Chains A and B, each alone.
Chain A
Amino acid sequence: MNAIIAITVVLTTIAGTVVVLAGHPKRQALTLSMFGLTLTVLFVALQAPDVALSELGINALVVPLIILLVAEKIRARR
């Protein structure tokens, strides 16, 4: 179990770093979605299915969607 947790922790950290370093908001929305997925897996590994479900719905789906909408909107206004 610990090995799975360790691997997902490292993956999550990498994914989070990529989110921050990604330049454009649209690319960030996609990487944030990936980051949300790795976190979901990590939370499942940490025996927290309730939290994993929230994380999946929110940071893997809803928040990236809103970010995409806002980024598109701002691009359209330019």
Chain B
Amino acid sequence: MSRRIRLGVFAVGACAVGTMLVIAFTGLPSFGTQRHPYGDRAVHMSVHKQTTSNVVSSVNFDQRATDTLGEEFILFTAVVGTLVLLRELREEDERDESQEKRQIAARGLPSTALVSYVMLGVTTLVGLYVVAHGHLSPGGGFQGGVVLATAIHLLYVGGGYAAIRRARPVPVYEILEALGAGGFVVLGLAGTLLTGDLLANVLPMGRLGDILSGGDVELLNLLVGVEVASAFIVVLSRFLEQYAVVGARRPTTR
């Protein structure tokens, strides 16, 4: 289709879909409605039966843990997929080592290095805190994992590509990522073995507010933290590698 016809088709479709959405929105309950039956039940269950004070974590890792299992594996699959798509092809294997080294040496300034090392420490601590307190306060494995992955990449600002390559043996994180996803499903299967139900709680609950409390929620949170952090480290490293190393070579003519 030509550009104009495409825009025409889009305009017709978009107008109709927009109208449909507006009609649908007028049927919604008023903004800030007090009626949230599922939400109220979830809060009730979380407060009275569980010992997690962050209800969102309770929903994520206990009441609707199967969703999170699925989401975990979407993450896992997407990372494996990215690795497959960015895999080194045969013709690219002949690396130009000297150019690679020059690229690595060119990065990093002493003043920014110091700042970024300090930042690295702070950010890592924040990330660990966010992961560990997911069942108590806002945050958890998903958010904390992202913070941790970002923290390591501050090294790139300070120490350049060489520093980050030392701190980040990518295969280790690939394995950690798989173990995080695998651990989630294994803990779920432990539920099947012990109680008959997949993802049923099998760990002691502890006391509300304690850092070691919440039963499975705490451990699942940690596993998700491991997985998300390693997943983003792996993904970022692949893109960084494409940018810093493969990009430095002459473009493959084909």
B143, A70: Cβ atoms closer than 8 Å:
no
Tell me if B54 counts as interface (CB < 8 A to partner A). yes
A50, B146: Cβ atoms closer than 8 Å:
no
* Beta-carbon nearest neighbor of B140 in chain A: A50
B247, A54: Cβ atoms closer than 8 Å:
no
CB within 8 Å for A53 and B240 given contacts A58-B146, A72-B247:
no
Tell me if B56 counts as interface (CB < 8 A to partner A). yes
Annotate A42-74 by CB proximity to B: 1 below 8 A, 0 otherwise.
000000011011100110011001100110110
Interface residues of B in 91-150 (CB under 8 A from A): 130, 138-140, 142-143, 146-147, 149-150
Tell me if A77 counts as interface (CB < 8 A to partner B). yes
B150, A57: Cβ atoms closer than 8 Å:
yes
Tally of A-B Cβ pairs under 8 angstroms = 54
Chain B contacts for A49, CB-based, 8 A: 138
Annotate B228-254 by CB proximity to A: 1 below 8 A, 0 otherwise.
000010011001101100110001000
* Beta-carbon nearest neighbor of A77 in chain B: B251
Tell me if A76 counts as interface (CB < 8 A to partner B). yes
Pick from B142, B236, B246: contact of A66, CB under 8 Å: B236
Chain A contacts for B251, CB-based, 8 A: 77-78
Total count of chain A residues near the partner, CB < 8 A = 19
CB distance from B110 to the nearest CB of A (A): 24
A62, B150: Cβ atoms closer than 8 Å:
yes
**Chain B contact residues (Cβ within 8 angstroms of A): what range?**
20 to 34
Complex Cα–Cα for A73 and B239 (A): 9
Complex Cα–Cα for A54 and B56 (A): 13
CB within 8 Å for A54 and B240 given contacts A62-B232, A76-B247, A77-B251:
no
CB distance from A59 to the nearest CB of B (A): 11
Complex Cα–Cα for A61 and B232 (A): 12
CB distance from A10 to the nearest CB of B (A): 15
A57, B143: Cβ atoms closer than 8 Å:
yes
Q: Given A53-B130, A53-B143, A69-B242, 9 other A-B contacts at CB below 8 A?
A: A2-B32, A50-B57, A53-B139, A54-B142, A62-B150, A65-B236, A66-B239, A76-B247, A78-B251
**B interface, CB within 8 angstroms of A:** 31-32, 54, 56-57, 130, 138-140, 142-143, 146-147, 149-150, 153, 232, 235-236, 239-240, 242-243, 246-247, 251
Show 14 A/B contacts (Cβ-Cβ < 8 Å), sorted by A. Answer: A50-B143, A54-B146, A57-B143, A57-B147, A61-B150, A62-B146, A62-B149, A65-B153, A69-B242, A70-B243, A72-B243, A72-B247, A73-B239, A73-B243
